[in-house]
Chain A
Amino acid sequence: MKDLNLSRRSFLAATAMAGITAAVDASPTGSLVEAKASELGDKPGEETVVQTLCRACISNCGVLATVRDGRVVKLEGDPRDPMSNGRLCPKGLAGIQALYNPNRLKYPMKRVGERGVNSWERISWQEAIDTIADKLMDVYEQDPMTLVFSSGGGGNPQFYSPMRFLQAFGGGNFFEPGCAQCYLPRNHAQPTINGLGDNSIADSGAFEIYYEKNQTKTLVLWGTDPSQSCPANGGRALANMRANGTKTVVVDPRFTPDAAKADVWLPVRPGTDVALMLAWIRYILDNDEYDHDFCLKWTNLPFLINPETRYCYRANELGFTVMDTDGTTDISATTYVVWDNNTNQPQPLPYPWDDALDPVLDGEFEWEGTAGIKTGYRCLWEACQDWTLDKAAETCDLQADKIEEAIRLYLDGTPHAGVVLGVATDQYEQSAQAAEGATILDVITGNLENPGNISQFRNAQNPGTYVVPAYDKYDPTHPLAPTEEVINRRLGFIEHKGLGFWKASHIPTIREALETGEPYMPRVWIDRSGNKPVVVGGANQFIEACKNFEFIVHAYMYPTAMSVELADIILPAAEWLEMSYVCDRLNVFCIRQRVTQLFECTDETLMWNWILKALADRGHEKAALSFSPDMDDAKRLGVNWLTYDDYEEYLASVVSRSFTEQYPDGLTWADCKEKLPMSFKDTQTWYESSYGHYLQTNEKTGKPYGFQRTTSLKCEPYAEGMIRLGRTGHVSGKYNGFVLPPASVDYEPLPYYTEPAESPRVDDEYPYTLTEGRVPFYHHGTLRNVPYLREAYPVARAWLNPLTADEIGVVDGDWVKLTSRRGETHGKVLVTEGIAPGVVYQERFWNPELLDSDDPRQAWQAMNINVLTKNDAPFNPEYGTYTLRGVQVKIEKSERPDGIWEDPKEFAPWMPEPSDNTGGGDAVYDA
């Protein structure tokens, strides 16, 4: 590679230069594949542009990939993408360096030697699949629940494919390090209350921000920083909104780029968000700033609460008989009860409303010997009444007047305001409560389904972004759906039933099972994603426990600490430029198509299906059924595919469902490549049909649609569904048709505050509070092996306030050692006013350059804050969330860890080595 002047070029220019340079200077090595241009069907030097979608993170931004002589030479954003409008972030632009990274896993390999030694032997896909299938057949017969299958957000995995595999396998535990610590709490709790959906920008919700006619007056960014987590999508849209006059409030311990541009920044103490939310709620109620009419008519706040069961009363419980408008259907069991001012007694309130009633919103009553019957509003008030601004300020290390300023800005924007909630509050013990609190704010102010609101009736296409479904998606009684026994045996699920929303098990309970062998010993682990030692909380303890697995398979694009420390077989996964997919982006269906396929790398869905086929060949009946066109709902669920061509036709069938009028015969993959991106609804209709949707008449029922994901069809800030979740397994009362045993504690229907288990208020030994967050160069554990991204952000930075730095005796650029009760790691100091005194911020990190050192463990220990975080109790009751933000550490001056790379020239060995299209793993393996 030519030596480039790395210190003066811009990143974009560098990418283009590198691309061109790589194409010209490509030098064959032993592992490269070369093909003549004529064999590729191109004229030498001819360029083609392939439209595709990035998958360096979960945003799926549109990309135009330029291919010359069969090699990808340039990447740029696709202006037809309605969310990114042609922008592409550093992660996406680094796609060429990721694709042609010389350390790519090129073929399956098996370990030579003991775990922890970086020594491997190449094997064929046949041997790999046979070995895995033989082992899984034994596990299936011995105890299928002893299989653990994990995925993750990083490294372009399919979201539901692990669950799909486990269902065809007939058991097992699924986990991903995110889940209860990333998105699940919001994804589940928010629609439980607002009846619509979550408001996550980074997870491609919050569609309102992309509307060119956006009317959001105030946006509260709570624990989210789109300018860093999804710069091309959400960051771009947010910049436009601010330019068009939207006011913003940012609640974040860190002075992020979004905080820098906010009208009000609240640097909340990590782990105390719920206290602040309760103060917001109290202020709104106390100052009569809530939407009276909406709260009365479209929430369950006037409903009477049974003090014994804690559920909202149903009419039949109080002796009322209610008939539906047809006069023949008894709806007593589904009609709620209010206290009627007119008659001074409880009265049933049929959906949606009864003008004859004058319900009391705030009250406590006695009826027929039962005292303490409160309205939902009264319960909400009691939950927040102690949280004055002053108390919140003291708890959260804020100023009361700034809190009020933020609330007033939000109220001034109402009813065209909204709260977007990010991953920060998903990452500690109060994940459910934070999601509830944030949602209640928009509900009580009526900030739903108005222009500019974030909470809208605008669901993704079914199945939307997550294309490969699990078998119980449409029918829990499907022959491949999990049995009641399998569901009950998911480790930690009965206690933390919110995990069921993602069919997941509880990571700490899996760890305990590995440590104790009880209730059963997990035996085999298949991991599809990058680097569990870097992203799981309490990494030291977790990884130590994982060594008790008998057999571990790791599928990824590169060797990572996960591979070296733990794996027995590693499988080469495809990069996003080698994959196909489809995705609805707002009202537009977009396509990812394989631009090339290198070595024997393979899309994961093929891997799992090859394993299932091998199981089927060994007599596994469920696995065999997954390949049968006679399987129930085969067309919609997809008969498992064994070739990439078959997979692409399945993808085309998914797209076809959104275009039945225009293409009644359906679309082929060739059609999709030609026609996508394609709108399935015109933009204005797609956006504006949500406005006031809840008031529109549902033709099937003759009544308003309401808020369709709640039981009452009204918003439920008194989240009785959460109580029911804990007692039965689902907010509706049944999980997959089963009533499950109750959790050991009742889940609360309203938010409450709990001081973090490790608290700076009482901890003298570990006096500093650690938090983390996103940087735009990496996604979770990914991309630390990409030279240009490492150049931009080479090492983990420990943000310290000048006062904190003085206390410790360090200056900018010094190295520090951070120690918690669970381990120690290092970071390079960044002294900044952008973090409060007593708080330290550091991003997760790992160092691939240390994998070949004398101590490969340092690759995931030298600069990894997850050796400091918690993997033990207390957990969030609903989701089992452990603590990644808001743990206490001590900090001392230290030295730079040995062997880490920091100077740009050190990353030269990782510069791309382009290779040619081989057809990937499916060209060499015949299932």
Chain B
Amino acid sequence: MGDLSDANETGDMDDVRDPSDLIDPFGTEVGNGGTGRMDAAGRTADGTNDVMRRAREFSTMLDHNVALRAPAMAALSACEHRRPLAEVIDEVHASLEAAHALPLQPVSSIVDVLVRAGVVDKTLEVDGKPYDGTLRDAMGDETLPDDAALVEFVTINEVGRLAQRLNAPERRVHQLFRDRPHLRAGLLATLRLCAAEPGMGTRDLQEELDGLGLLERDERTGLPTLYPSAFCNALKDVGALEWRDHNWVTTELGRGVLDAQAAV
């Protein structure tokens, strides 16, 4: 985790560089999912940044579907290599279940979201051979034998890889501190207070933050202009804090933020 003290700069943090500057370090061209060859910055021959646009659209969609973010990114990671869809679903379901983070909707529909968003490609094999069509097409295809084995495969594509980088937890933490510098002290204090086991409940956190003067009470009304949940939810949304057993608990990502600060 880079030093967040310069979170106003996009400068020297390779992992979280502004995506408009993203360049494959070996300068090779990258595929674009069939829309035409592009350079390493995702620009097509006519200069448009189609991959970037689609990756950003995917990021915006995740912003508008808060509850989908974690399972969607987990599913995206599981599609790193071409794999049967059913295998991906089972694996992601198991991992989310173990983390007590199963989404409201089934993992299969999460994968559908990724396919619809164009970050994952889905293909079909019939008896081990590529089939030009969807599962529904194949099931209605009279030319196929009734006992044909139909297997769907999924794999991440260029848009998905860029989307992974755009939505990398470290990047999102960086953006949080960059975009909301006035919350910096409160965010760090929250992470520190919730780092010790078993974490900290909201009431205790409110008392601590208020004692530190971090709730920014309005002079006229005497009321806080910030409440602990402002910090907690901001950190939770980027994965630096989680709610566990009735307490806010700093995650590994959040501890990385603290370590980075300590190293400054």
Question: Using a CB–CB distance below 8 Å, which chain A residues touch chain B?
Answer: 110-117, 119, 121, 131, 138, 141-143, 145-146, 488-489, 494, 517-521, 523, 547-551, 568-569, 741-742, 744
Contacts and interface: CB of A to CB of B under 8 A. Distances in A.
B109 A518 contact: no
Interface in B197-225: 201-202, 220-225
Contacts, number: 96
B66 A550 contact: yes
15 contacts: A112-B105, A112-B109, A113-B113, A117-B116, A141-B202, A142-B243, A143-B232, A145-B229, A146-B229, A494-B221, A521-B229, A548-B64, A550-B66, A741-B220, A742-B221
Contacts of B248: 142
B220 A742 contact: yes
A141 B223 contact: no
A547 B64 contact: yes
Given A113-B109, A119-B109, A517-B230, 16 more contacts: A112-B112, A113-B105, A114-B61, A114-B64, A141-B246, A143-B232, A494-B221, A518-B230, A519-B224, A520-B226, A520-B227, A523-B233, A547-B63, A550-B67, A741-B221, A741-B223
B65 interface: yes
A520 B186 CA distance: 13
Nearest to A518: B230
Interface of A is mostly: loop
B104 A111 contact: yes
B68 interface: yes
A523 B117 CA distance: 25
A119 B202 CA distance: 36
B177 to A, nearest CB: 14
Nearest to B246: A141
B223 A121 contact: no
Contacts of A488: 223
B234 A141 contact: no
Contact of A568 (B104, B112, B201, B229): B104
A141 B64 contact: no
B88 to A, nearest CB: 17
A488 B202 CA distance: 18
Nearest to B203: A141
B221 A142 contact: no
A520 B233 contact: yes
A520 to B, nearest CB: 4
Contacts of A489: 223, 227
A111 B229 contact: no
B228 interface: yes
A518 to B, nearest CB: 5
Contacts of A143: 202, 227-229, 232
Given A110-B104, A518-B225, A138 B67 contact: no
Contacts of B104: 110-111, 131, 568-569
Contacts of B68: 114
Interface string B240-264: 0001001010000000000000000
B234 A517 contact: yes
B229 A121 contact: no
Most buried by B among A114, A115, A143, A523: A114
B233 A517 contact: yes
A112 B108 CA distance: 9
Interface of B: 61, 63-68, 104-106, 109, 112-113, 116-117, 180, 201-202, 220-230, 232-234, 243, 246, 248
B167 to A, nearest CB: 15
A548 B225 contact: no
Nearest to A112: B109
Nearest to B108: A112
A87 to B, nearest CB: 46
Given A112-B109, A550-B67, A519 B227 contact: yes
A145 B227 CA distance: 10
Nearest to B221: A741
Nearest to A566: B64
A117 B61 CA distance: 12
A568 B63 CA distance: 15
B116 A520 contact: no
Given A141-B246, A519-B227, A521-B229, A121 B105 contact: yes
A117 B115 CA distance: 14
Contacts of A519: 224-227, 230
A138 B101 CA distance: 13
Most buried by B among A146, A519, A549, A569: A519
B220 to A, nearest CB: 7
Contacts of B228: 143
A568 B232 CA distance: 23
A148 to B, nearest CB: 13
Contacts of A742: 220-221
Contacts of A115: 64-65
Per CB-CB distance, the 10 closest pairs between chain A and chain B, nearest first, are: A741-B221, A143-B229, A547-B64, A520-B227, A550-B66, A520-B229, A521-B233, A112-B109, A520-B230, A114-B65
A494 B64 CA distance: 29
Contacts of B65: 114-115, 547
Contacts of A523: 229, 233
A142 B244 CA distance: 11
A742 B232 CA distance: 29
B243 A138 contact: yes
A142 B230 contact: no
Contacts of B113: 113-114
Contact of A549 (B66, B117, B202): B66
Given A113-B113, A548-B63, A521 B234 contact: yes
A489 B222 CA distance: 12
A521 B226 CA distance: 10
Contacts of B225: 518-519
A739 to B, nearest CB: 12
B223 A494 contact: yes
A568 B109 contact: no
Contacts of B64: 114-116, 547-548
A117 B116 CA distance: 11
Contacts of A517: 180, 230, 233-234
Contacts of A111: 104-105
A142 B232 contact: yes
A548 B202 contact: no
Nearest to B247: A141
A569 B67 CA distance: 13
Nearest to B226: A519
Contacts of A114: 61, 64-65, 68, 113, 116-117
Nearest to A485: B223
Most buried by A among B106, B220, B224, B233: B233
B116 to A, nearest CB: 7
A568 B109 CA distance: 13
Nearest to B104: A110
Contacts of B63: 547-548
A735 to B, nearest CB: 14
A549 B68 CA distance: 12
Contacts of B220: 741-742, 744
Nearest to B72: A114
A475 B54 CA distance: 56
Contacts of B233: 142, 146, 517, 520-521, 523
A122 to B, nearest CB: 13
A114 B75 CA distance: 15
A494 B246 CA distance: 30
Nearest to B64: A547
Nearest to B176: A517
A145 B68 CA distance: 23
B68 to A, nearest CB: 6
B105 A110 contact: yes
Contacts of B221: 494, 741-742
Contacts of A549: 66
Contacts of B67: 550-551, 568
Contacts of A113: 105, 109, 112-113, 116
Contacts of B105: 110-113, 121
Contacts of B201: 141
